[in-house]
């Protein structure tokens, strides 16, 4: 249970959490992102990490990012019978959506890229498609908020790479021939890929698919970059990686520090048949402890023993320079049954590289009492690390408000710095003091080596105001492997320049830029900007940081990405002074059948004057005036704001390539991509399958001044939805009676609320992995910091569970059986379904075995798509009903409860119908099942 750091290099080992900030600016994930995540934070100086929106860690990703499947079939219509009729005699099995959807999901992903430290070579990290369900079904231990694969002694559900190709970047920007890394066993699963500091070697973990538990553990391998030859790092077959927390780090160009499974460890402890006593929790000291609904916590003494077993590491240190230090953090008992391991007692120590203890930096107690208010933290030292700009120098932060963000105090945080070795009585030096204010981002200029130079505010703006974002300083890699601000020289000018890389948010959409910024005067010069007419381009990384010293503007070299509405992302190297761009990738279009889809960023206004935006997608070849309105799927996710102006700002770009993930709503654009060489009535049916997709319509929930946003949640939610629906109907692209709404997580919560409070807008809904009863999350959710007892009416009124009797439109609920997300435990969908069924609502609940908050297995994802496609065609495409009416009889049947339940070992599906929507269907051999109403 250790975390390792080394002086001279900021060796923060990677943690495989559900959401993490980029930690390796050299890796480019080239598959389309399933959703973008923006993290706002306060930076004390520009020493912080630069915002590279397309950068991710080299290490293994969670399986929510994909892996599995092997279909390369082209799109073909009429190859699979899609039967949407219920057949109780067949039981419940995993189903597959129509081939035009399935083939997009099964398409092989493009590789991830990683550049060498000297920017002269590039790795192509090869990936597979979706993993089989059997991989998710592997046994896992759920301990202290994490899930562990006991056979591998890693986090469970890791994806992996299948191969590594090395290319040299030639002087003309093209790539040399591939050198394949070889020498490891066939079928090996590759994780934790890392360059040595000098770029001459690669290191990576290898797992095998053998039945022997020991052989499935991870071994570290080393490869020579010039030849591709790979070999195990350790000759002993008994040394395996323990990757539950950290894995390994490069100490220098030829040595690594590795967290291994202790050689003395025996078999896993067995659970006693009879417990030693009852489970007791006590608060006799009357402490105020408020925690959110964390999942996978320790339950008893046996879990504590098991956690010790899997999480304890033995450090193996090879040939380190004894003039360096190691920073080691560990967690220890007493553990907790109500918070995850990130809040367990934590000790941070300084050791010499030859294994001698130097001193203890801190020993933090169990932190069960961190307030639920946003930006609250644990007490004591935190963010302890090495400074990137000075060897053997530590820094850390200490809160001055007791960890409670609601306490008004100045300063709120103090940043300290101190050498690794201190003289007797030497105290830490204050590096900077911070007053963190809600909704503001401040960037300071400080001089760590000059006590006489006062800190100076460089930028001060609202974090919600994207239009005023000046960009983030670009970082360069040092010879020590750390990343610092890239200083730039402009000819003979003696000014102090650095580069600001920004998203360039404007009312016309994002136009990314690169500014040359003079730190003393604040003057800016725009030296690069995205093509705003057709393309969306971004600056990804510096490519001219191989040498020490300042960068010269006329020798600047950057890596950019370039995409358009119809052209997928490619990567270019741009050189100064001529700014010539050299294309270095040529990835094929991931779904050529949708190459001519229509995309438009639209703007409209809510009735209270708030400006809203959305992205409207229309199928290839569609003409509103000739073809008429289409069924429409609205897919969104609400957001909270403190001002109407910020809520109305445009985010995103109309020129971005439409990335389509495995469960994306955009997959239904492909439902128009069929072979129309059939009889006329078949043509009419398939023509009716086409969809318009309204993706990400902004649903701002605004609380200005002292008002809390959620106090008017339902009102603002409905107003935003009304404006979106009115816009697509007025444009003539959406049929007013054939508009479906859907979302995942908080988007599912939104969907259920809209069906309850705005049934006039939508014909049906699809809600995936949501939370519907806020009394089950009593100590806050999303950005709601108040408790249930402080804002009872808000919790109740926001909960669609409390309005289950109002939901008359068909709703499809989907949930992973092993959901580990805080607040969205599977019970939420179970209880909501029962509430709906108890009021005769037309509803269906699909529970996916082994799936977590995001769905990963190919069988599960294909079935989710089949269920969604069935729901849309049954209750959207074929909808002719009026608000609140039964689809067959035109009467509301609230009290009739005609339901059926089926379950087998593969999946769980429960349906209930308040009167039903019984359709007669024609089954045509080798073709899709078609509703009778679409034929005659």
CA dist., res. 244 & res. 192, Å (int): 13
Which two three-digit tokens encode residue 462? 């609202």
Confidence band, pLDDT 50/70/90 cuts, at residue 353? confident
Whether the per-residue pLDDT at 63 is higher than 80: the answer is no
Q: Is 735 a catalytic residue?
A: no
**Residues 485 and 608 both lie in one domain:** no
In the numeric block, the tokens 């037309």 are attached to 842
CA dist 29 to 25, 66, 67, 88, 540, Å? 11, 12, 13, 44, 11
Torsion of Cα atoms, 749 then 755 then 760 then 766, to 10°: 80
pLDDT digit string (tens) for 623-640?
Answer: 999 999 999 999 999 999
Of 258-262, 320-324, 641-645, the poorest mean pLDDT is in 320-324
CA dist., res. 150 & res. 153, Å (int): 5
pLDDT digit string (tens) for 721-767?
Answer: 999 999 999 999 999 999 999 999 999 999 999 999 999 999 999 99
pLDDT of residue 657: 96
Q: Return the closest-CA partner of residue 559 out of 135, 183, 48, 55.
A: 55
In this structure, are residues 309 and 268 in contact, taking their beta carbons and an 8 Å threshold? yes
How many separate domains does the chain show?
A: 3
Q: What is the mean pLDDT of residues 503-512?
A: 95
Whether the per-residue pLDDT at 492 is higher than 60: the answer is yes
Is residue 584, in this structure, part of any structural domain at all?
yes
> What's the CATH code of the domain at 660?
3.40.50.1820
Confidence band, pLDDT 50/70/90 cuts, at residue 57? very low
Is residue 37, in this structure, part of any structural domain at all?
no
pLDDT of residue 4: 53
CA dist., res. 709 & res. 894, Å (int): 33
User: Among the three residues 588, 619, 638, which one is the final residue of a domain in this structure?
Assistant: 588
Q: Cis (ω within 30 of 0) for the bond into 678?
A: no
Confidence band, pLDDT 50/70/90 cuts, at residue 101? very high
**Residues 580 and 596 both lie in one domain:** no
Domain span at 535: 465-588
**Residues 667 and 815 both lie in one domain:** yes
**Residues 128 and 207 both lie in one domain:** yes
Give me the phi and psi of 63, to 5 degrees please. Answer: -70, -10
Of 97-111, 436-450, 637-651, the poorest mean pLDDT is in 436-450
Three-state SS for 235-286 is CCCCCCECECCCCEEECCCCCEEEEECCCCCCCCCCCCCCCCCCCCCCCCCC
Rounded to 10°, the helix 746-757/713-730 angle is: 80
Q: Is 852 a catalytic residue?
A: no
**Residues 174 and 222 both lie in one domain:** yes
Whether the per-residue pLDDT at 272 is higher than 80: the answer is yes
pLDDT of residue 91: 58
**Residues 572 and 627 both lie in one domain:** no
Give me the phi and psi of 639, to 5 degrees please. Answer: -140, 155
Q: What is the mean pLDDT of residues 123-139?
A: 94
pLDDT digit string (tens) for 795-807?
Answer: 999 999 999 999 9
**Residues 109 and 202 both lie in one domain:** yes
User: How many C-alpha atoms does 782 have within 13 Å on its Cβ side?
Assistant: 21
Q: What residues contact 466, with CB distance under 8 A and at least 6 apart? A: 503, 505, 646, 649, 651
Q: What percent of the chain is predicted at pLDDT more than 70?
A: 81
Is residue 695, in this structure, part of any structural domain at all?
yes
CA dist 353 to 249, 255, 260, 420, 782, Å? 13, 12, 17, 13, 43
Rounded to 10°, the helix 858-872/99-106 angle is: 150
Q: What percent of the chain is predicted at pLDDT more than 90?
A: 63
CA dist., res. 751 & res. 374, Å (int): 25
Is residue 371, in this structure, part of any structural domain at all?
no
Whether the per-residue pLDDT at 89 is higher than 80: the answer is no
Which two three-digit tokens encode residue 227? 């030849």
Average pLDDT of the chain to the nearest whole number: 82
Give me the phi and psi of 143, to 5 degrees please. Answer: -135, 125
**Residues 247 and 191 both lie in one domain:** yes
Q: Of residues 815, 853, 873, 927, which has the active-site annotation?
A: 853
Confidence band, pLDDT 50/70/90 cuts, at residue 446? confident
Whether the per-residue pLDDT at 929 is higher than 70: the answer is no
Whether the per-residue pLDDT at 265 is higher than 70: the answer is yes
pLDDT of residue 909: 67
Q: Is 819 a catalytic residue?
A: yes
Whether the per-residue pLDDT at 404 is higher than 70: the answer is yes
pLDDT of residue 352: 82
Q: Return the closest-CA partner of residue 75 out of 856, 620, 743, 634.
A: 620
**Residues 735 and 838 both lie in one domain:** yes
Whether the per-residue pLDDT at 541 is higher than 60: the answer is yes
CA dist., res. 573 & res. 557, Å (int): 7
> What's the CATH code of the domain at 247?
2.40.128
Q: Return the closest-CA partner of residue 416 out of 455, 383, 443.
A: 383
Q: What is the mean pLDDT of residues 215-240?
A: 92
Confidence band, pLDDT 50/70/90 cuts, at residue 253? confident
Of 117-126, 282-291, 793-802, 817-826, the poorest mean pLDDT is in 282-291
Higher per-residue confidence, 56 vs 367: 367
CA dist., res. 837 & res. 840, Å (int): 5
pLDDT digit string (tens) for 842-867?
Answer: 999 999 999 999 999 999 999 999 99
In this structure, are residues 932 and 919 in contact, taking their beta carbons and an 8 Å threshold? yes
**Residues 784 and 652 both lie in one domain:** yes
Q: 5-14, 455-464, 494-503: which has the highest mean pLDDT?
A: 494-503
Q: Of residues 246, 401, 819, 886, which has the active-site annotation?
A: 819
pLDDT of residue 427: 92
Confidence band, pLDDT 50/70/90 cuts, at residue 84? low
CA dist., res. 710 & res. 795, Å (int): 9
Q: Of residues 114, 672, 745, 907, which has the active-site annotation?
A: 745
Is residue 827, in this structure, part of any structural domain at all?
yes
Is residue 562, in this structure, part of any structural domain at all?
yes
Whether the per-residue pLDDT at 303 is higher than 80: the answer is yes
Side-by-side strand order, sheet with 535-542:
535-542, 557-564, 570-575, 580-583
**Residues 811 and 718 both lie in one domain:** yes
Is residue 474, in this structure, part of any structural domain at all?
yes
pLDDT of residue 49: 31
pLDDT of residue 912: 63
Helix extents (H) in 693-733: 713-730
Q: What residues contact 671, with CB distance under 8 A and at least 6 apart? A: 98, 100, 101, 619, 689, 690, 691, 869
Q: What residues contact 109, with CB distance under 8 A and at least 6 apart? A: 31, 66, 127, 128, 129, 590
**Residues 752 and 853 both lie in one domain:** yes
Is residue 282, in this structure, part of any structural domain at all?
no
């Amino acid at each position: 249970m250790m975390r390792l750091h080394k002086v001279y290099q900021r060796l923060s080992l990677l943690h495989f959490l559900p959401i993490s900030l980029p930690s390796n600016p050299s890796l480019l994930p080239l598959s389309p992102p399933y959703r973008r995540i923006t993290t706002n934070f306060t930076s004390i100086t520009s020493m912080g990490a630069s915002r590279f929106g397309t950068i991710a860690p080299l290490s293994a990703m969670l399986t929510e990012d994909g892996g599995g499947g092997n279909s390369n079939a082209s799109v073909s219509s009429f190859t699979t019978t899609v039967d949407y009729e219920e057949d109780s005699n067949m039981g419940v099995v995993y189903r597959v959506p129509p081939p035009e959807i399935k083939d997009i999901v099964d398409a092989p992903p493009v590789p991830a890229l990683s550049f060498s430290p000297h920017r002269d070579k590039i790795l192509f990290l090869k990936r597979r498609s979706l993993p089989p369900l059997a991989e998710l079904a592997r046994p896992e231990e759920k301990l202290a908020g994490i899930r562990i694969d006991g056979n591998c002694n890693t986090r469970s559900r890791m994806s992996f790479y299948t191969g590594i190709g090395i290319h040299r970047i030639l002087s003309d920007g093209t790539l040399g021939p591939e050198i394949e890394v070889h020498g490891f066993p066939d079928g090996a699963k590759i994780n934790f890929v890392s360059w040595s500091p000098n770029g001459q070697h690669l290191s990576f973990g290898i797992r095998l698919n053998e039945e022997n538990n020991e052989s499935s553990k991870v071994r570290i391998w080393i490869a020579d970059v010039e030849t591709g030859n790979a070999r195990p790092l350790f000759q002993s077959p008994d040394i395996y990686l323990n990757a539950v927390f950290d894995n390994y780090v490069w100490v220098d160009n030829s040595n690594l520090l590795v967290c291994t499974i202790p050689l003395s460890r025996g078999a896993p402890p067995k659970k006693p048949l009879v417990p030693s006593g009852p489970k007791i929790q006590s608060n006799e000291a009357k402490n105020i402890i408020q925690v959110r609904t964390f999942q996978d916590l320790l339950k008893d003494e046996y879990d504590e023993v098991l956690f010790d077993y899997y999480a304890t590491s033995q450090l193996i240190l090879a040939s380190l320079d004894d003039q360096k230090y190691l920073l080691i953090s560990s967690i220890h008992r007493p553990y907790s049954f109500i918070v995850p391991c990130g809040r367990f007692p934590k000790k941070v120590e300084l050791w010499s590289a030859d294994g001698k203890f130097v001193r203890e930096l801190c020993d933090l107690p169990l932190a069960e009492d961190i307030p639920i208010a946003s930006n609250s933290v644990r007490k004591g030292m935190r963010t302890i690390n090495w400074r990137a700009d000075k060897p053997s120098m530590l820094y850390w932060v200490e809160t001055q408000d007791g960890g409670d963000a609601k306490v008004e105090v100045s300063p709120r945080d103090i940043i300290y710095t101190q050498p690794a070795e201190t003289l007797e009585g030497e105290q830490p030096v204050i590096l900077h003091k911070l007053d963190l204010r809600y909704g503001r981002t401040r960037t300071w200029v400080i001089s760590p080596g000059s006590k006489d130079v006062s800190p100076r505010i460089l930028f001060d703006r609202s974090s919600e105001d994207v239009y005023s974002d000046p960009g983030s300083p670009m970082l360069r890699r040092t010879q020590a492997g750390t990343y610092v601000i890239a200083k730039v020289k402009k000819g003979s000018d003696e000014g102090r320049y650095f580069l600001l890389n920004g998203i360039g948010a404007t009312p016309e959409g994002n136009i990314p830029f690169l500014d040359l910024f003079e730190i003393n005067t604040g003057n800016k010069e725009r030296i690069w900007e995205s093509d705003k007419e057709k393309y969306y381009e971004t600056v990804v990384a510096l490519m001219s940081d191989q040498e020490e010293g300042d960068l010269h503007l006329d020798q600047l070299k950057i890596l950019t990405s370039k995409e358009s509405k119809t052209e997928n992302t490619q990567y270019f190297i741009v050189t100064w002074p001529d700014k010539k761009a050299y294309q270095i990738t040529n990835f094929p279009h991931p779904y050529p059948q949708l190459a001519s889809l229509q995309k438009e960023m639209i703007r409209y206004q809510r009735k209270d004057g708030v400006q809203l935006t959305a992205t409207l997608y229309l199928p290839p070849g569609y003409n509103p005036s000739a073809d008429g309105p289409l069924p429409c799927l609205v897919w969104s996710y609400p957001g909270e704001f403190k001002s109407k102006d910020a809520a109305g700002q445009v985010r995103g770009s109309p020129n971005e390539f439409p990335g389509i993930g495995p469960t994306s709503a955009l997959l239904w654009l492909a439902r128009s991509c069929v072979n129309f060489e059939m009889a006329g009535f078949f043509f009419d049916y398939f023509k009716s399958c086409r969809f318009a997709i309204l993706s990400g319509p902004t649903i701002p929930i605004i609380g200005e001044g002292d008002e809390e946003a959620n106090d008017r949640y339902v009102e603002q939610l409905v107003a935003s939805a009304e404006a979106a629906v009115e816009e697509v109907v007025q444009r003539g692209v959406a049929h007013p009676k054939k508009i479906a709404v859907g979302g995942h997580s908080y988007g599912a919560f939104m969907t259920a609320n809209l069906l309850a409070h705005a049934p006039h807008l939508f014909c049906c809904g699809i809600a995936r992995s949501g939370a519907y009863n806020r009394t089950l999350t009593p100590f806050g959710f999303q950005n709601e910091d108040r408790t249930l007892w402080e804002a009872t009416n808000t919790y109740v009124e926001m909960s669609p569970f409390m309005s289950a009797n109002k939901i008359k439109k068909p709703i499809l609920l989907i949930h992973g059986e092993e959901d580990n997300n805080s607040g969205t435990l599977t019970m939420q969908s179970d209880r909501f379904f029962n509430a709906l069924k108890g009021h005769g609502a037309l509803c269906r609940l699909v529970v996916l075995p082994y799936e977590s908050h995001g769905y990963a297995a190919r069988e599960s994802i294909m079935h989710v798509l089949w269920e969604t496609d069935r729901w849309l065609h049954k209750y959207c495409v074929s909808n002719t009903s009026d608000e609140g009416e039964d689809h067959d009889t035109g009467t509301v049947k609230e009290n009739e409860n005609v339901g059926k339940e089926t379950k087998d070992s593969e999946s769980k599906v429960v349906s209930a119908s308040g009167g039903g929507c019984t359709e007669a269907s024609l089954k045509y051999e080798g073709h899709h099942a078609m509703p009778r109403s679409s034929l005659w």
